[in-house]
Chain A
Amino acid sequence: MILQLTVAVPILAAALLATAGRWLPRLVVDVAAVLAVAAVAALAALTLTRAPHHAQVSWLGGWGPATGVGIPLAADPFAAGLALVTALLTLAALLFSWRFFTEVQAIFHTLMLLFLAAMVAYVYTGDLFDAFVFFELMSVVAFALTGYRSEEPSTVHGALNFGIIQSIGAYLTLAGIALVYARTGQLGLATAGRQLIGTGTGHGGHGDALVTAAFVLICTGYLVKASAVPFHFWLADAHAVAPTPVCVLFSGIMVPLGVYGIARTYWATFAGLVPLRAIAVLGAAAALLGAVMCVLQHHIKRLLAYSTVSHVGLLLVGVAAHGPGALAGTAYYLAGHAGVKGALFLAAGALLNRHQTVDEHELRGRGRGMPVTGATFLLGALGLAGLPPSGLFAGHAVTEHAAEELGWWWFTPLAIAASALTAGAVLRVWLGVFRGTPAEEDPAQEDPAHGARPDAGGGHEDPETRPTLRNLPWTMVSPGLVLLAAALLAGLIPGGPVGAAAAMFTDRDGYAALVLDGRVPHPHSVPADPWTASGVAGFLATLLLAALIAVHAVRRRASDRTGGGILARAAAATSARLHALHSGHIGDYAAWLTAGVAVLALLTTRF
């Protein structure tokens, strides 16, 4: 019953607020929403403590596994942990928006609660089609939340791009599910997996063309969500226009849930039938491209969005490394990333509230009166670089160890480069906005070409609160600080349970036993150990590189970009190319998406 309640509580609260929100005073709406989310967090925490020992499975409506038609909700420790992270991020976002969005009844709260319910249901469900339904619900709510401030054309543009690309991905996922269903007559992850092993193997125990096609198509929708290259275009457009508390949920958990979807579907259903190298390649590409694009931005929300592309790319590589060790590292990484990115977005929201802009150049030196926000940016940058004992540090160290055992020599340089570039960009923002000197009023600052490209951003933005608050209230400051602290300490989560949870997650028969027989599997597991010398060395190298990147950028800006060697010109040309690539044109994005499906298919097929 706990699992049903975890999903039902936010839905019922959302229904209540949508019904009566028009007449309820604002305080009641806020309190009701926060209480509902806190209840979900408590239920998820309870599930997390019980999951390693007692099977947390519930067949809805009493249609047990013997009937062969029901839908199970199942929570292994990773699923429960993800639900907990989701609830905590939602709680932070709701607290931050306590003074937000006063005009539209309780619709913002209703949507946030539905969003939470959709994500929790998606995480817990043990059924392919049901996962798709809640994946769709998650997307629909996300579109509405993205377009929330629909007064501005750019908002509608960003939300529309998001909606179209996500929907195309979702249709392909549905087509893949249909293929699995047609072959096996099953919709449960575990039962379909058993059938596929029995019937779907061609020569040499690998999946045949149908299995490959189904996996590729299902993954496409999830990869769009996880913003792997070349499916990532929607992400920055949507993040740039979505309200800041919504960005916290997008970057912190919704995008990583795409990675979870791939991991769960693979290990519960397709394990051993298809190779994961396609996921590794697209993830690595996202890690690199996202990091480079991140450095090239000066719209802070866009910058943070591209850093999400980069870090979630690393998560994809961690899943593709195909083993409990790398998965344990990925879990650490996800938790740390969620906290750090949430805190950074909330800090950006504080800047937006105070100065009505999130453009790095316009904000130059204007953050000096905001010590807490400044500290958040500094610590957030260090966190992205992998400061021990943050979750990102532990994630790097553990995944790196597993990748080395696989012989993936390229993983460490890739992770260091991605982290250094993204951390360097955030560090540059900190140096410029919070340590720099304000530029004097410059008439040339009103550059008309500025807003023409959708990628350029900048310019005046409507504040999300009205009237602009003089002093940031504690409800806007403390959620970010708590998230940041949690992320920076996440590496201290004991490695034993994490390793055991990863072993449980990657054990296909174990998952089937959990869902179908209600037995908790106890596969052999190795405790995750983040405290390795190479992990610490990796952090130091990352930090050094990040500092170099940040200082170089600030210097270059101070010297007004007069120097123009061949290298500088080549860099400028590349940057222009990359900006042109991210055109904001929905046709481009759709073309890239189809090309991405073809690449996925090529890399997944065994010839």
Chain B
Amino acid sequence: MRTRTRTLLFAAGAAGAAALFTAGALDLPRFGGAVHPYGDRAVRQALRESTTNTISSVNFDQRAFDTIGEELILMASAIGAVVLLRVVGKEAEDQGAAHRHGPAEVSDALRIVGYLLLPVTLLIGVYIIAHGAQSPGGGFQGGVVLGTAVHLLYLAGDYPALQRLRPIPVFESTEALAAGVFVAMALAAAGAVPALNGAVGVEVGCALVLLIGKFFEQALLVREPPGGTP
């Protein structure tokens, strides 16, 4: 299809879809109304179970099955990244070309800040997971903090240290294990919000480390073909 035709087709379709959505949205309840049926029920049930953080109660208790699905999506994405990106690793091995990882020059200020922030950030991640049942936070958020904290080492310019800190196979296994533990716990006893929170935290943290690690491997692989010219 030529670009012009494609644009016209898209414009016509988008106009129709926009009209449909606008017409539908105009029939929505007025903004700022006092009726919140689902919210009322969710808060009431959370308080009945004495979970003070209603959001965690919805995530890990009332609708824990959704969370299982979301966790598995994350796990499948991480596994998928491993499958799809394994070719890059193979290329590097196959071609035997010289390659190296990572940024070369990092200023001292960045290096020091990276080292200093690493333990603090890890602590914050653990805190957010541990207190998810009571205060804002939870396994997903804390897991993301944990997963990214590790990569401060990269900002500090120390890629070898980062590689030592996160052996990919271990994280792969731990991630899957945490997902399995979450499902098993949800089957056995829904309602153990803090424990479920912890399992999700581990799973999300590992998955994130895995994903970022795989992307790093791809993005930072500086190929230096033997011939010199690309």
Chain B's closest residue to A1 (CB) is: B187
Do A597 and B62 touch across chains, with their CB atoms under 8 A apart?
Answer: no
Find chain B residues with CB under 8 A from A156 CB: 84
Do B29 and A183 touch across chains, with their CB atoms under 8 A apart?
Answer: yes
The 8 Å CB contact of A11, one of B1, B20, B172, B183, is B183
Find chain A residues with CB under 8 A from B174 CB: 19
Give chain A nearest CB distance to B127 CB in angstroms.
27
Chain A, 4-20, CB within 8 A of any chain B CB:
4, 8, 11-12, 14-20
Q: How large is the interface on A (under 10, 10 to 19, 20 to 34, 35 or more residues)?
A: 35 or more
State the CA gap A175–B13 with chains docked (Å). 17
State the CA gap A605–B24 with chains docked (Å). 11
Chain B, 147-192, CB within 8 A of any chain A CB:
169, 172-177, 179-180, 183-184, 186-187, 190-191
Do B66 and A150 touch across chains, with their CB atoms under 8 A apart?
Answer: no
Do A597 and B169 touch across chains, with their CB atoms under 8 A apart?
Answer: no
Check: B37 CB closer than 8 A to any chain A CB.
Answer: yes
Find chain A residues with CB under 8 A from B13 CB: 591-598
Find chain B residues with CB under 8 A from A144 CB: 76-77, 79-80, 83-84
Contact with B along A569-599 (1 / 0, CB 8 A): 0000000000011010101101111111111
The 8 Å CB contact of A69, one of B14, B15, B45, is B45
Find chain A residues with CB under 8 A from B68 CB: 11
Find chain A residues with CB under 8 A from B169 CB: 22
Check: B105 CB closer than 8 A to any chain A CB.
Answer: no
State the CA gap A430–B51 with chains docked (Å). 65
Do A185 and B65 touch across chains, with their CB atoms under 8 A apart?
Answer: no
Give chain A nearest CB distance to B69 CB in angstroms.
4
Check: B10 CB closer than 8 A to any chain A CB.
Answer: yes
Do A179 and B183 touch across chains, with their CB atoms under 8 A apart?
Answer: no
Do A592 and B35 touch across chains, with their CB atoms under 8 A apart?
Answer: no
Chain B's closest residue to A20 (CB) is: B173
Q: How large is the interface on B (under 10, 10 to 19, 20 to 34, 35 or more residues)?
A: 35 or more
Do A15 and B179 touch across chains, with their CB atoms under 8 A apart?
Answer: yes
Contact with A along B184-216 (1 / 0, CB 8 A): 101100110000000000000000000000000
Contacts A18-B173, A69-B58 given; indicate if A209 touches B24 (C-beta within 8 A). Answer: yes
Check: A186 CB closer than 8 A to any chain B CB.
Answer: yes
Give chain B nearest CB distance to A76 CB in angstroms.
19
Check: A151 CB closer than 8 A to any chain B CB.
Answer: yes
Do B177 and A69 touch across chains, with their CB atoms under 8 A apart?
Answer: no
Chain A, 54-68, CB within 8 A of any chain B CB:
60-63, 67-68
Give chain A nearest CB distance to B179 CB in angstroms.
5
Check: A411 CB closer than 8 A to any chain B CB.
Answer: no
State the CA gap A598–B173 with chains docked (Å). 46
State the CA gap A20–B172 with chains docked (Å). 10
Find chain B residues with CB under 8 A from A605 CB: 20
Check: B99 CB closer than 8 A to any chain A CB.
Answer: no
Do B28 and A183 touch across chains, with their CB atoms under 8 A apart?
Answer: yes
Which stretch (A107-115, A298-306, A488-496, A511-519) binds chain B? A107-115
Chain A's closest residue to B80 (CB) is: A144
Do B190 and A209 touch across chains, with their CB atoms under 8 A apart?
Answer: no
Give chain A nearest CB distance to B79 CB in angstroms.
6
Give chain B nearest CB distance to A181 CB in angstroms.
7
Check: A538 CB closer than 8 A to any chain B CB.
Answer: no
The 8 Å CB contact of B72, one of A62, A69, A117, is A117
Do B84 and A588 touch across chains, with their CB atoms under 8 A apart?
Answer: no
Contacts A133-B73, A137-B73, A598-B16 given; indicate if A175 touches B27 (C-beta within 8 A). Answer: no
Contacts A19-B176, A185-B38 given; indicate if A601 touches B69 (C-beta within 8 A). Answer: no
Do B63 and A147 touch across chains, with their CB atoms under 8 A apart?
Answer: no
Find chain A residues with CB under 8 A from B104 CB: none
Contact with B along A551-585 (1 / 0, CB 8 A): 00000000000000000000000000000110101
Contacts A588-B6, A598-B15 given; indicate if A61 touches B69 (C-beta within 8 A). Answer: no
Give chain B nearest CB distance to A73 CB in angstroms.
8
Do B190 and A15 touch across chains, with their CB atoms under 8 A apart?
Answer: no
Find chain B residues with CB under 8 A from A602 CB: 16
Do A147 and B6 touch across chains, with their CB atoms under 8 A apart?
Answer: no
Do B72 and A213 touch across chains, with their CB atoms under 8 A apart?
Answer: no
Contacts A210-B28, A583-B1 given; indicate if A60 touches B64 (C-beta within 8 A). Answer: yes
Find chain B residues with CB under 8 A from A580 CB: 1
Give chain B nearest CB distance to A6 CB in angstroms.
12
Find chain A residues with CB under 8 A from B82 CB: 107
Check: B26 CB closer than 8 A to any chain A CB.
Answer: yes
Contacts A133-B73, A144-B80, A210-B27 given; indicate if A19 touches B64 (C-beta within 8 A). Answer: no
Check: B12 CB closer than 8 A to any chain A CB.
Answer: yes
Chain A's closest residue to B74 (CB) is: A140
State the CA gap A141–B23 with chains docked (Å). 35
Chain A, 111-168, CB within 8 A of any chain B CB:
111, 114, 117-118, 121, 125, 129-130, 133-134, 136-137, 140-141, 143-144, 147-148, 150-151, 156, 159
Do B41 and A150 touch across chains, with their CB atoms under 8 A apart?
Answer: no
Chain A's closest residue to B72 (CB) is: A137
Do A61 and B26 touch across chains, with their CB atoms under 8 A apart?
Answer: no
Chain B, 11-55, CB within 8 A of any chain A CB:
12-17, 19-21, 23-29, 35-38, 41-42, 45
Chain B's closest residue to A587 (CB) is: B6
State the CA gap A387–B23 with chains docked (Å). 48
Check: A444 CB closer than 8 A to any chain B CB.
Answer: no
Do A150 and B87 touch across chains, with their CB atoms under 8 A apart?
Answer: yes
Do A61 and B61 touch across chains, with their CB atoms under 8 A apart?
Answer: yes
State the CA gap A141–B68 with chains docked (Å). 15
Contacts A8-B183, A134-B69 given; indicate if A179 touches B190 (C-beta within 8 A). Answer: no
Contacts A18-B176, A61-B190 given; indicate if A133 touches B70 (C-beta within 8 A). Answer: yes
Give chain B nearest CB distance to A273 CB in angstroms.
13
Check: B75 CB closer than 8 A to any chain A CB.
Answer: yes
Check: A71 CB closer than 8 A to any chain B CB.
Answer: yes
Check: B86 CB closer than 8 A to any chain A CB.
Answer: yes
Do A212 and B79 touch across chains, with their CB atoms under 8 A apart?
Answer: no
Give chain B nearest CB distance to A263 CB in angstroms.
21
| Interface, chain B (partner A; CB < 8 A) | 1, 6-7, 9-10, 12-17, 19-21, 23-29, 35-38, 41-42, 45, 58, 61-66, 68-70, 72-73, 75-77, 79-80, 82-87, 90, 169, 172-177, 179-180, 183-184, 186-187, 190-191
Given contacts A110-B176, A133-B66, A587-B6, 8 further A-B contacts (CB under 8 A): A11-B68, A61-B65, A71-B65, A110-B79, A185-B37, A213-B21, A216-B20, A594-B17
Q: Could you list 21 examples of A-B contacts with CB < 8 Å?
A: A11-B72, A11-B180, A18-B179, A22-B173, A60-B190, A63-B61, A107-B79, A118-B72, A136-B69, A144-B77, A144-B83, A150-B83, A150-B85, A179-B24, A213-B20, A214-B24, A588-B6, A591-B1, A597-B20, A598-B16, A602-B16
Minimum-distance CB pairs A-B, first 6: A598-B16, A213-B24, A15-B180, A594-B13, A185-B37, A144-B80
